[in-house]
Structures are given as C-alpha cells and as structure tokens.
Amino acid sequence: MTSPIHRLPDELLSKIFVYSISPSVTPEQIQAPLNISSVCSAWRQIATSTPTLWSSIMIAVIPRRKIRFTSIIETWISRSQSVGFSFTIKWNYLKEKDPSRLQAILGVLIEHCGLWRNINISLRHDGVQQIFSVIPNLTPRIRGICVDTDMFEIGKFFDGPLIYLEHLSVTATSAFFPNNDHLLLDNLRNLILDMMHPSCFMEFVLRTPRLETAKVKLSFRQRDPQESYYPNNVILPHLRALNITVDLNGRTSFEFDRLHESLKLPALQTLIFTNQTYLYNAGDTLSWHGFENILHDVAPTLRNLGIRAHIGTLSIPLPQILETHPDLRYLAISGGFLDEQLIRCLTHSSSPTDPSASRLCPNLETLHLLASRYEEDYSTIRSIIDMASMDKSPSTRENPLLLVFPGYPFHTTLTPPPNGRLKLITEWKWKQERRHEMYIESSWE
C-alpha cells in the first residue's frame, strides 16, 4: 500500500479505471472491471461505485465454460445506475445448443430495456424479434443499434419513430418499403447497410435528414421489391462521407443513373466507391456512367476519393475526372487504374517548361494504393517510387506526398526517394497513427 498510486484521490483513480476498460467488456476475472475490483478493498469500493465501469458488457458463448450471464447482467445493470446500459450479444448457436440460456439472457435484458443506450446483436431472426419488440416504445435512451441477422425488413421491426437514434448498422439482406411512414430517424448520424436494393435505400434515407456518414452496399441484381420506384429529389444536406459498394448487372446498370438523378449530396467531402461487378465475358467493361455523374455533382466539396474495382476492363476516364477535382487531398485507388502517365501526373511537380508533366490534383496529400494482386501491387509501388525519384523540378509541395500501401512482406525492402518527394507508410500503420477524417465516428473499420 506504499505505492504512489494508492495516494491518488478516489476521483482520479475512478477516471483511470474508466480508461482501462476494453471496447469489448467480457465478464472475465482478468479484464477490467473485475480485475480492478479484485486488487484491494479500497479499489473495489471505487470500482463498484463508478457506474461507467459497469455500463456495457459483451455476451458470447465461451467453449467449455458455463458463465452465469443472467446474474452477471443483473449485477452489471445495478452498478451502472442511471448512466444507461449497452450490450453486445454474439451468440454461437452451434456451440451452445441449449436455447433456454439465451432466452433467460434476453429476458433479463428486456426487463431493463428502459436503460438501453447502444446494442450490438448477432442473433437469428427470432432472437432479433424479441429484442426489437420493445424498440422504440420502451427504449427512450437508445442511441445506437447494430444487428447481424438474416433477412431484415426494417419497417416491420420498428413500429414507431426512433427520434433519438444516432447510429444504425444492419448486416443482413435488408428491405424497406414506402408504406412505413411511421418510421422517422430525425437524429440518425451514421448508417451502415450491408445489402439493399437501391430503391429501398432511397426510400429509407428520405427519413434521415441529419445523416452525416453512410456505408452501404447496393445490389442491382436483386429483384426490385418496389418495382423500381424511386423517390424524387432526395437531398441529404449534412452527408459528408459516403462509402458505397454496388453490384451492377449489365441489363440494369441504367438504374444507377436513376439513383444519381434522385440523390443530391451538397456537402459531400468523402466518397469511397467500389464496383463489385464481376465480368464474365471477354471484352466486357464495367459501367461507370452513373458514378462519373455523381463525381461531377460533388466536385465543389469533394476532398477525399476512393475507387476500387475487380480486375477487368476499366472504362472509367480517370485522368479526365481528376482534372475536375483539383482540391482532392486524398486519393485511394486500385493499382489497375495507375499507368505510367497517371503516376507521373500525380507525383511530379508542375513544370511550365514541360507540358506533359502537368500535375493532377495539385493539393493531393495522400495517395493510397488499395490491395489487388501481390505482384502487380509491388510493380506499381516500385513505379511510383521510381517516378518520384526522377522528379528534378523544384518542389511545390509543403510536405512530401504520403504513399499508403498494403502491408506485404516486401515493404521492408522499400525505401523512399532521396529527394524527399515521397513518404512511405503501410496501410495498417497509417490507420493506427494517422486516422483520416473520413473514418471519424463512422465505424467503417
């Protein structure tokens, strides 16, 4: 008890304890808060009287262990007092075959549903139905919902407005229909949808006037549940980051043009676009027309752009597009888009005596090479480094261009050019050390 830490005020110790909590708190003796409250009686008193320490829990099947979750949850909730309660359920139906255990856990949680703040559930359809039977009418504090299940029709689960909900994530094939007029999401800030038809998506975001970030996967291959009904003039005035994946079909790619015509994004700063369409026939090309139109519309505000596509014939006129986006700060791109001329235009300083070296994106700070094929990625990275090394013109950049690349084993053999035009960093390290603004509060990782 002579250690200096025991002389700290209780209030300061309490704050230190809170910072020691893992994002996924499990009721294990080796983790906070249980390990903290086992050190000594003084620490136990501080821990048990700090509600935030007990305000969230992760419930998961642990092989060969029968944790008494019901009594643990009741203890956690009682100690969390009035700060609200959050929980994660990752239930493995193969490892836990006794349905009564899950039913007992859900019963305790539903009994205290008025305290729920953030819930994250990975359950079968019937379990999700039980949880959602009390939302939103009996859950006035709920702020975040993440659900991983089978087919998920959003309007059937929510029978009233979720006016305080700020984050919604659905990992399932989901649907939404225009007759769900009762569903209002006035304060929704962050949205993640794993699989939805574009017409359902448009109808859904009509109810999210304050949406700020969205990550969505739109399937044009799915049967359209609304017979291609698209609401007109959907304006998202606060949306600043959109990560969109599309699975197009050659016969229905025109629907992406309709999506562009209906969706207005006047404040968009970050656009990450993935074309997930596979090409089956030689000579086929990916359809980029709707994407080009969206890029044209958001040019005045766009600062961060990412483009990814499966290997195939790429018909997108990337240099022409980048010419209209001189204010880009961040560009993430599949290596298949980068030829020698484009690399030169992105990495070289502008030269009044060499028109061929006119620079694209003069304000570019970060060039992010997205993983594709090992050998091709290595060749592309080497080309970027070699091109930057050959640039002898006076630098017009305040800082070297940051090249972010996949963390392949060869990365230890790469060295930046001696002229200081380029700085190298692996993707993992970049995400850890320099979190880009596009990821803030979006839970995209």
pLDDT tens track of the chain, all 445 residues?
A: 566 666 666 666 666 666 666 665 555 545 556 656 666 777 777 777 678 878 888 888 765 667 788 988 998 899 888 889 999 998 877 666 778 888 999 999 999 999 999 999 999 888 998 999 999 889 999 999 999 988 777 777 776 778 889 999 998 877 766 666 667 889 999 999 988 888 888 888 988 999 999 999 988 765 555 555 667 788 999 999 999 988 776 545 566 777 778 889 999 999 998 887 765 555 555 567 778 888 889 999 999 999 887 655 456 678 888 888 999 999 998 877 888 888 888 887 655 555 544 578 889 999 999 887 777 788 888 888 888 888 777 666 678 889 998 877 776 778 888 888 889 988 888 887 765 555 544 444 4
Q: What is the pTM of this model?
A: 0.84
Q: What's the fold here for domain 1-54?
A: Monooxygenase (1.20.1280)
Task: Give dist(CA 368, CA 406) in Å, integer.
Answer: 9
At how many degrees (to 10) do helices 254-262 and 289-298 cross?
A: 20
Angle at CA 290, nearest 5°, toward 284 and 294? 140
- The answer to whether residues 421 and 401 touch, using CB atoms and an 8 Å cutoff, is yes
Task: Give dist(CA 126, CA 149) in Å, integer.
Answer: 10
Among residues 186, 253, 191, 252, the alpha carbon closest in space to that of 216 is found at 191
Domain map of the chain by residue range?
Answer: 1-54, 56-137
Helices (H), 159-285: 198-205, 254-262
Cα 359 to Cα 345, 351, 352: the distances in Å are 4, 8, 11
